[in-house]
Amino acid sequence: MSVEIALPGETERFPNGAWELPEELRMLAETVRRFMETEVRPLEDSLPHDSAGLPADLLMPLQGKARALGLWALQTPRKFGGAGLSVLGQVVVAEEAARCRMGAFFPACGAFGGNPPNVMFSATPEQFERYARPIIEGQVGRAFTAISEPSGGSDPARAIRCRAERCGDHYVINGTKTWTTHAGTAPWGVVYARTGEPGRRDGISCFIVESDTPGLSKRPIDVMTSYAPYELHFDNVRVPVDNRIGPEGGGFHLASDFLVSGRITYAAGPIGIAQYALEMAIEWVKQREVFGSRLADKQGIQWMIADSEIELRAARLLMYQAAWEADLGRDVKVDASVCKVFGTETAYRVLDRCVQMFGALGLSKEMPLERWFRDLRVKRLGEGASEVQRMIVARELLR
């Protein structure tokens, strides 16, 4: 399935006086939801509670089924061989693909892979064919992206200290990166290192680094979730000049381009999980009896459900609006930060209420709620903490 959405003009944004998703995206959402219900969750249910991904013997056939439905390389532009979904299409898929136990970090349990790091769409044709093409074609799973460092991650322009010094036809990289996802299994990744003056945005460059390069070592970081990020240590790691993406000093610009729109799709997963949890809680309280009546008849429970529904609707519409504006080519810096903060924090509040409605069962590993609770706590920090997003919104408004 390849979905192409025509962007409306300003006067066409609210046809018939109401906002709704285009029919193509409603059909896409339904396809993804059916795939999750019939193909993904039955496989996931056969694995331990804290599994981090499907084993290859389950994942490969699942990915084959996804590709047959056109659910592959959805974020990759058409000119690079992908489906080229709009940002609005991406958030629709991301919300539905999160409706599984691993959904926070493994949407659809990895069935829809096939997207290289966004920065690779700015790479040279040679770089793209060598590194990104195998991901799109399904020969390689993922690549890592290394930005954050022990000195900080929310302000990379100032925090990046990992340094790349040019020596002839190579750069020599020294320093440490942390909180790097997928680094344990990815054969390569993109690394942002300083090539210019400290604290300057034009002093950061982006490099493709292969995981087996001498001098590069990794260690997993134990965290509250079931999926561990990695710390990367660079000790005189030599990278060919040909592996630099874009001009020297242009790395921050490349990173900021995808980080902004990435915050929009990032919010979709938590919203999808919270919506699924709410649906589960509603079914539970309708059958659970306490003190002579159903939980669903208690006003306190009804208000939890109502507040959760209200907040999720608001979060979803903020996300749709930000995605829509991005597809129209507008500046969505504020929109992206708004929907990232509201989406992740709303999802966390809703999930907390759902755990409360389930009572002790909500804390049990017989249910996915406690795993989601840990995962969604992380989402309030990832892609820039909520406080950083609020700072961005305030700074833009005060400007």
Which active-site residues does the annotation give?
383
- Please report which residue ranges of the chain form alpha helices under DSSP H: 23-35, 41-44, 56-68, 87-97, 125-127, 133-136, 156-159, 251-287, 299-327, 333-358, 369-379, 386-398
Cα 309 to chain centroid distance, Å, stands at: 23
The answer for residues whose C-beta is within 8 angstroms of residue 288's C-beta and 6 or more apart is 294, 295, 296
**Among 267, 275, 293, CA closest to 379:** 267
Angle between helices 333-358 and 386-398 (to 10 degrees): 140
Using the structure block, give the residue that is written with the tokens 């990435």: 262
CB 178 within 8 A of CB 149: yes
Query: Helix or strand or coil: residue 283?
Result: helix
CB 110 within 8 A of CB 59: yes
Supply the Cα-derived Rg of the chain in whole angstroms: 22
CB 358 within 8 A of CB 281: yes
